[in-house]
Amino acid sequence: MDGVLLVAVAALAVIGTMLVWSSTRTWAPGSTGLVKKHILNLCIGTVLTGVAAMVDHRRLRAYAPLVYGLSLLGLFLVITPLGSTVNGAHSWIMVGGGFAFQPSEFAKLGLVLMLAMLMAQPAAGTDRPRGLDVGIALVVGAFTMGLVMLQPDLGTTMVLGVITAAALVVAGVRKRWIGGLVLLVVGGAVAVWFLDVLEPYQIARFTAFLNPASDPRGVGYNSTQSLIAIGSGELFGKGLFDGGQTTGRFVPEQHTDFIFTVAGEEFGFLGSVTVVALLGVILLRGMRIARQCDDRFGTLTAGVIVCWLAFQSFVNIGMTIGIMPITGLPLPFVSYGGTATFANMIAIGLLQAIHIREQSF
């Protein structure tokens, strides 16, 4: 297995555990906050990593449609009475015991495998996928994004869009397909905006991104407080548990979407750079695995996973420092979460499975 990749993920998990503890200890039940549940999720995720690493990805290609179908089933169940609304998005299924299941996180994995399967077979005499397969891939991606938008979950929809685009780029499709996809995305974004698909709070997030100072106590509150928290950490930070913004809960959802603000305030610029550097190590190792794999399906799977994790990390950190709108995406391997943690750890397991079996049959 790729030891460097494992160490980077483990280091981020340890840092994330400390940040979750700090951001929840003052309000969550018990003195340890939500950290025990977070550790339990990480332990389950570690087991899932091991299980995924044991799977021969070359055989997994045959089961990609089944995995994708199960992920769609979860998305359909969410929009039935079984689904529950949390923070404005009807994206959850409550399973009891304080645990909830978010099918859209596993939809990312299902879409990655399905697109990799479709793009893995090149056209005769070329190394590019067939036009029919590209068309089917676009339909598959659009259908998945449409189901997630019904929730509505804009952040996850953006990630699914990036996964679809990344599959096309990694597969080496012709430039006209890429251009068509860009036009489709632009047209879809315009349609979503003018057809009132977005909820009012989602529109307010974009408004706050464009001008957070216009309403610092309203729609711009999250952005303003986030910048205050990160800036107050200066170079070395205020120390674990000593962040005033964190202890006072001035930044909402600090244990999930805005956990990077805790790192900035309590660990300072150096601690924040450490988090970014560890994420960079994960992405670089993933790119290395994709490049060295002789199997086209493995290369596509690894490459798209890297693009998924890179985009989600950029958006999460970007929204805390004011360069991206707030979309509700957690920081991989750091933020508190159950289903998101499981999906991320399975993705790491798939990278390890590809690394172990780099050679083709």
**First vs last C-alpha separation in the chain:** 19
User: What mean pLDDT comes out for the span 120-134?
Assistant: 78
pLDDT tens-digit map of 300-331? 999 999 999 999 999 999 999 988 888 889 99
Does 207 have pLDDT greater than 90? no
> What residues have CB less than 8 Å from 265, skipping those under 6 apart?
229, 230, 232, 233, 237, 238, 243, 244, 245, 246
Task: Confirm if 158 and 149 have CB atoms less than 8 A apart.
Answer: no
Q: Domain segments of the chain: what residues?
A: 3-360
- Using CA atoms, how far apart are residues 273 and 220, in angstroms rounded to an integer? 25
What token pair was written down for 135?
A: 């068309």
pLDDT given at position 198: 66
Does 194 have pLDDT greater than 80? no
Centre a 10 Å sphere on the Cβ of residue 52 and count the other Cβ atoms it contains.
20
pLDDT tens-digit map of 278-287? 999 999 999 9
- Using CA atoms, how far apart are residues 171 and 301, in angstroms rounded to an integer? 10
- pTM of the prediction? 0.91
User: What mean pLDDT comes out for the span 121-147?
Assistant: 83
309 or 207: whose pLDDT is higher? 309
Does 190 have pLDDT greater than 50? yes
Degrees (nearest 5) of the Cα angle 67, 305, 122? 75
pLDDT given at position 163: 95
Query: Which range (94-98, 236-240, 246-250, 270-274) has the least confidence?
Result: 94-98
**Mean pLDDT taken over the chain:** 87
Backbone angles phi, psi at 91, to 5 degrees: -120, 5
What token pair was written down for 357?
A: 């079996």
Query: Which range (17-26, 200-209, 326-335) has the least confidence?
Result: 200-209
- Tokens 């021969």, located at residue: 56
- Using CA atoms, how far apart are residues 225 and 229, in angstroms rounded to an integer? 6
Residue among 65, 99, 119 at smallest CA distance from 342: 99
User: What mean pLDDT comes out for the span 263-272?
Assistant: 94
pLDDT tens-digit map of 222-253? 888 889 999 998 999 898 888 888 888 888 88
Max distance between CA atoms of the chain, in angstroms, equals 64
pLDDT given at position 333: 95
pLDDT given at position 361: 47
pLDDT tens-digit map of 34-62? 888 899 999 999 999 999 999 988 888 99
